[in-house]
Amino acid sequence: MLTTTQFLTDADTQKFAAVLKLYPNALKIKASLKKKQGESLEKLDKWYQDELGRDAQSRKPPYITRDELVRLMGWKLSRGKFRPRLMELAGSNSDESVQKASQQGIHLAQKDKIQDAIKALVVLKGIGPATASGILAACVPEKCCFFADEVAHAIPSLASLKYNAAEYEVLNSEMINCAKRLNCEAQKEDEKENGLEKWTPHKVELTIWTYSLLHQNNSELLSDISGKRRTSDKEEHLLKKQKK
């Protein structure tokens, strides 16, 4: 079975799509491993994935509210180590400051100025690059991923994390490059005509997160998906030459 790192670099569009369908399974596993603190992870995640970005984009210009920031912090902490102090700090921001910072951050991310977007958001109390990325992944998923441990650890250079902006830049670039690869493959195989949606950095991140969770906790679900690594164009060319 492919490691998470190998899956990120070698799996094709069909495998990515198949793993992404298993996201609810991985989410249930994650929820079962965590002690419930407040809202359930499943409920928070549904809100985060389906509603937060939509609600933010419905405002002109887009922004999130203080209450949404606090709830987003709850979502983030429910996936990792729960630290009540961060919830308190997030809630201590004024609604005006959250609106201003998030409006600026979203605008900068839409302009591909991701590092500047992170800087605009971390001025808020209790908000570091990881939480800032959560805002951007929800509101600008076509440009940004969420800084998830499980995904970052799939990248060799991010094996040990300090959770800073430079690390997020590496992570997001990897997700962008993978999304470009998958979309290119899909286009070559005419998969877009078959109704497959375009890959984004956030969708790639969700898929890698799912693969990592299942690989560690229920690898049987991946047995029919993960297998031999993808043969590169160069390797295929060499194989054809050998056959001749």
Domain of residue 124: give its range: 4-239
Tell me, yes or no, whether 178 lies in a domain: yes
* Helices 165-188 and 13-20, axial angle in degrees (round to 10): 120
Q: What confidence category does residue 39 fall into, taking pLDDT thresholds of 50, 70 and 90?
A: confident
- Round to whole Å and give the CA distance between 225 and 50: 26
Stronger pLDDT, 95 or 232, i.e. the higher one: 95
Residue 48 has pLDDT above 60, yes or no: yes
Question: What is the number of domains present in the chain?
Answer: 1
Read off the pLDDT of residues 57-73 as tens digits, 9 standing for 90 and up: 999 999 999 999 999 99
Determine the average pLDDT of the residues in 31-49: 89
Tell me, yes or no, whether 244 lies in a domain: no
Q: What confidence category does residue 234 fall into, taking pLDDT thresholds of 50, 70 and 90?
A: low
Task: Count Cβ atoms below 10 Å from residue 145 Cβ, excluding itself.
Answer: 30
Tell me, yes or no, whether 153 lies in a domain: yes
Q: What confidence category does residue 194 fall into, taking pLDDT thresholds of 50, 70 and 90?
A: low
pTM assigned to the model? 0.89
Handedness of CA 12, 203, 217, 28 (dihedral sign): negative
Tell me, yes or no, whether 183 lies in a domain: yes
- Round to whole Å and give the CA distance between 74 and 19: 26
